[in-house]
Amino acid sequence: GLAGGFITKNNIKSWYEKLDRPSWRPPNWAFGPVWTILYTMMGYASYLIY
């Protein structure tokens, strides 16, 4: 995995920017807070189950 990541790291950003994304896609800034909330909720759910 490390070798593959090293080889392709220069092309990933330009590849992602060229993708045709749907108009209903959330803005990039929303992903950080949403993932933080999701992982917090999963941790709390694990605590409740335990």
Per the model's pLDDT, the better-predicted residue between 25 and 5 turns out to be 25
Distance between CA atoms of residues 22 and 11, nearest Å: 22
Residue 41 confidence (pLDDT): 98
Task: Give the per-residue pLDDT at 8.
Answer: 81
Tokens found for residue 35: 């993932």
Rounded mean pLDDT, 8-17: 78
The number of domains in the chain is 1
CA distance 39 to 48: 14
34: containing domain: 2-49
- Name the residue with higher pLDDT: 3 or 38: 38
Does the pLDDT value for residue 46 go beyond 80? Answer: yes
